[in-house]
């Protein structure tokens, strides 16, 4: 009886996903094993039944109506954020690179401001836009800075770029 890994190897062989050496081994085994041969026939038949037989589905809306909704949405988004998505790629890269630097600068600025506080009470400051937080302990004279990188909004940009 075939084990699960052998069944998956057989499938990978039929899909052309194995290395040459492994494909030769599976082919030799397939030629001798009746159970493997029967499974191979079933997998091939299923594949040929599916390939090229996707049901023909047509969009149930007229060209004009469908397009009018898309056009409206494009215009709405362009009004909301003009040219943001259509920036050249190099400009987006610079924007992505500058974001952490801006965050660092803001953190440094906040750290300096916190350092100037006249009271001796430990304080925490959160920067919601950058995902950074500082903690100042005056007694010990220590300042801790947490940086979450990439910041949420930047990660979304990065993901959008990777998506392509």
Partner 1 sequence: MKDLSSAEDQELVRAAQGGDMPAFEELVARHRDKLYARAYTMMRNEEEAIDLTQEAWVKGWQRLGQFHGESSFGTWMTRIVINLCLDQLRKQKRQRTESLDEINEESGGVERQMPVVTVNPTAGLERVELRQRIDRALGQMSYEHRTVLVLHEFEEMEYKQIAKEMKCSIGTVMSRLFYARRKLAALLADLRKGDTQ
- Residues of the shown chain interacting with partner 1 in the complex, contacts defined by CB under 8 A: 4, 7-8, 11-12, 15, 17, 35, 38-39, 41-43, 45-47, 49-51, 53-61, 63, 66-67, 69-71, 73-74, 77, 85-89, 163-164
141: left (phi over 0), alpha (psi -120 to 50) or beta: left
Contact assessment for residue 132 and residue 145, using Cβ atoms and an 8 Å cutoff: yes
* DSSP three-state, residue 77: helix
Nearer to partner 1, 113 or 156 (CB): 156
d(Cα 125, Cα 102) in Å, to the nearest integer? 17
Q: In angstroms, give the least distance from the CB of 75 to partner 1.
A: 9
d(Cα 96, Cα 111) in Å, to the nearest integer? 24
Nearer to partner 1, 31 or 57 (CB): 57
Q: In angstroms, give the least distance from the CB of 29 to partner 1.
A: 16
d(Cα 121, Cα 113) in Å, to the nearest integer? 14
Q: In angstroms, give the least distance from the CB of 28 to partner 1.
A: 21
CA angle 32, 36, 42 (to 5 degrees): 135
Q: In angstroms, give the least distance from the CB of 74 to partner 1.
A: 5
Nearer to partner 1, 61 or 137 (CB): 61
């Amino acid at each position: 009886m075939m084990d699960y890994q052998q069944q998956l190897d057989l499938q990978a062989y039929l899909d052309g996903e194995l290395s040459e050496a492994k494909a030769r081994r599976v082919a030799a085994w397939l030629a001798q094993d009746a159970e493997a041969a029967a499974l191979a026939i079933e997998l091939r038949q299923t594949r040929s039944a599916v390939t090229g037989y996707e049901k023909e589905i047509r969009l149930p809306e007229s060209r004009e109506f469908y397009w009018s909704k898309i056009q409206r949405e494009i215009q709405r988004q362009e009004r909301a954020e003009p040219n943001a998505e259509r920036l050249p790629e190099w400009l987006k890269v610079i924007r992505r690179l500058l974001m952490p630097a801006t965050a660092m600068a803001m953190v440094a600025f906040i750290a300096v401001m916190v350092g100037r506080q006249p009271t001796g009470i430990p304080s925490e400051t959160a920067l919601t836009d950058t995902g950074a937080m500082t903690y100042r302990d005056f007694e010990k004279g220590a300042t801790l800075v947490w940086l979450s990188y990439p910041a949420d909004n930047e990660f979304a940009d990065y993901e959008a770029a990777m998506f392509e």
